[in-house]
Structure formats: C-alpha cells, structure tokens
Amino acid sequence: MAKNLSFGGGSPRELKHFISQKTGLSGKKAKALIDSRRVFVNSRRVWMASHNLEPGDMVTIPDDAAAPSAQQEYKIIYKDRNITAVDKPAGMLSDRDPGSLEDILRKSLSNPKLRAIHRLDRETSGIILYAASTEVFEAYREMWEEKEVRKEYFAVSTGEADFDEKKAVSPVDGKNARSDIKVISRGSGLTLFLVKITTGRKHQIRIHLAGAGYPVAGDTIYGPKNVSGPLQSLSRHMLHAYRLKFKCPVSLKEMDLKAPMHGEMLETAKKAGFR
C-alpha cells in the first residue's frame, strides 16, 4: 500500500524535510527513502531530496516507510561438498560486504573460503551459488564464462505484452547479450514473463524487457518515471532467479535447481490473477 501526503504550501518546501515532518522519520532516513526511488510527487518518481514542493502537490510514499522492512530469511535449497545453492531474499547483497549473504553463509557454515560464483542484484530474489573452495570457484567460473549454464528468471512487467515469445539480442554495455522471453500470463495491466539467458550481462533482463516496451514492475532505473496505483508501493523490482541447470564441473553431476517465487513478487503475481 501507499500513503498520500498533501502539501498545502508554507514551510518546509524541501521534499526531504516535508517527509520527515509528516512521518516522524529522521532527515537521514527520509533522504534514504527518497534515494530508494520509492517516492512520487504527483505520480512522478522523484529522487532528489532537495526537490521543492509546490502548493497542491501530492507526495506518495510506501505505507511501511516509517517501519523497518522485514528481512526475509534465506533458504538453502541444495548443498554438497562443492557448492551451496541458496534462495536469496530481495534486499540482501550477494557478496563482499559485511551482512551480505556470502558473509552470513561463511559464518553459519564455518567456511571462510566460501565464495559467490555469480551475483544477483540486491533487489533480485532467487537462486545463487556459492563455491566451497577456491578450486571449485575457479572451475565454476570457467563454466560460467563458457556459457554452459542455463538460467531462467521470472519477471512481472508493466503492460500486457502484445507477443507470446520474443528473442532480444541487443548488446548490453557493448557486449553481446541474448534473452529468450516467453509470456506465461498477462492481465490487470501486467505480464508474467519467463526469461531464459546464457549470457549474464549486468541488468541484462531489465534492459531487454524495457527495450521490448515492458519494463520490470518496480524498476526504478529502466522503468517509467510516472507510476500510479498499486505499483507505487512496490519495495523492489519484480525479478526472480527461478532456475539454474548445468553439469557440475567437479563432480560431473547433472544439476537442475529451482526456487519458486515468494514474498512480495508472488503476492503481486497473485493480485494480477496470474496462474
């Protein structure tokens, strides 16, 4: 849900201070909320904390803005002596930083050598693999670079697609990139896509879907600046890493790992009536 705050004029005009005054959030937290690109002025996304309001402006913020967001728990979906496959919740970093999923797993599994084989954006949920050792990491990275991993994602996008299947082959960051896009369901002004990729360029799926005219719902970078209705309250972009299929380069075991949609993304899909 979203909360509307009407600016009637006077002081403070600056967006950050106005939100702070109306919600009780500190100035720092109000700025962080604006930086997250979840604030709208007259249905237009605004991410400048110093934006000056005009009398009659309607400011829309997430209904849970004043409350700390609930952190979903990660789930280990597969583990052997070589890798650990985890269903990463949205909002958690994949690796490197303190508090990242990599950092948490190193401690919980008592393995300081554990290392992320690939990454997911902070807001993207779903399957991510961690190597148990440097040797395993190097073997998997080579397999990744040879594009021997089949990756499938679910995406809930704005707009009802006027096609059933499409191949997007436009370059991303000057490098070849291909996304095979298939419609799973459409309705209520949204489309549920299954996207298969072998290349894994940064933001590839988000860029390709936006280029096809159906940006991922909740995408604050490649999505529209003007957003109305329930989509204003989304706390993340609606992209989920659903499946990884590959042959383990160490054990030579055929792997097919899946993680169903969950949380806010599943709720969004259900509300749209998707199967």
Q: Is the bond preceding 12 in cis, omega lying within 30 degrees of 0?
A: yes
Task: Please give the single-letter amino acid code of residue 178.
Answer: R
Strand partners, 129: 85
Q: Domain boundary residue among 39, 62, 85? A: 62
Whether residue 7 is found in the same domain as residue 97: no
DSSP-derived 3-state class of residue 10: coil
Q: In the prediction, which pLDDT does 67 show?
A: 47
Q: Hunting for tokens 């670079």 — which residue is that?
A: 145
Whether residue 104 is found in the same domain as residue 37: no
pLDDT tens, position by position, 157-209: 999 999 999 999 999 989 999 999 999 999 999 999 999 998 889 999 999 99
- Which residue would you say has higher pLDDT here, 73 or 205? 205
The span from the CA of 136 to the CA of 71, in Å, is 30
Instruction: Write the CATH number for 160.
Output: 3.30.2350.10
Shortest CA distance to 38 belongs to which of 198, 236, 255, 269? 236
Phi, psi of 51, rounded to the nearest 5 degrees:
-55, 130
- pLDDT exceeds cutoff 50 at 22: yes
Whether residue 58 is found in the same domain as residue 79: no
Whether residue 24 is found in the same domain as residue 147: no
Q: In the prediction, which pLDDT does 1 show?
A: 63
Cα distances from 8 to residues 50, 88, 181, 221, in angstroms, run 18, 43, 46, 30
204 with 178: CB under 8 angstroms?
Answer: no
Domain that holds residue 89: 75-271
Phi-psi region of 94 (alpha: psi -120 to 50; beta: other; left: phi over 0): alpha
Whether residue 197 is found in the same domain as residue 103: yes
pLDDT tens, position by position, 201-238: 999 999 999 999 999 999 989 998 888 777 877 889 99
Whether residue 196 is found in the same domain as residue 82: yes
Q: Domain boundary residue among 28, 62, 96? A: 62
Q: Hunting for tokens 């021997």 — which residue is that?
A: 148
| Model pTM score | 0.79
Shortest CA distance to 196 belongs to which of 267, 269, 255, 147? 147
Whether residue 194 is found in the same domain as residue 79: yes
pLDDT, the chain, mean: 91
Q: In the prediction, which pLDDT does 270 show?
A: 92
Instruction: Write the CATH number for 42.
Output: 3.10.290.10
Q: How confident is the model at residue 38 (pLDDT cuts 50, 70, 90)?
A: confident
DSSP-derived 3-state class of residue 141: helix
- pLDDT exceeds cutoff 90 at 71: no
pLDDT tens, position by position, 134-146: 999 999 999 998 8
Whether residue 58 is found in the same domain as residue 141: no
pLDDT tens, position by position, 87-103: 999 989 999 888 899 99
Look at the chain and report how many structural domains it folds into.
2
DSSP H helical ranges for the chain: 15-23, 27-35, 101-108, 134-145, 204-211, 263-271
DSSP 8-state class, residue 173: T
Q: How confident is the model at residue 69 (pLDDT cuts 50, 70, 90)?
A: very low
- pLDDT exceeds cutoff 90 at 68: no
Q: Domain boundary residue among 11, 38, 62? A: 62
Whether residue 44 is found in the same domain as residue 180: no
Q: How confident is the model at residue 149 (pLDDT cuts 50, 70, 90)?
A: very high
Phi-psi region of 222 (alpha: psi -120 to 50; beta: other; left: phi over 0): alpha
Q: In the prediction, which pLDDT does 114 show?
A: 97
Whether residue 260 is found in the same domain as residue 129: yes
- Cα 143 to its chain centre, rounded Å, is 25
Whether residue 143 is found in the same domain as residue 19: no
Q: How confident is the model at residue 64 (pLDDT cuts 50, 70, 90)?
A: low
Whether residue 83 is found in the same domain as residue 166: yes
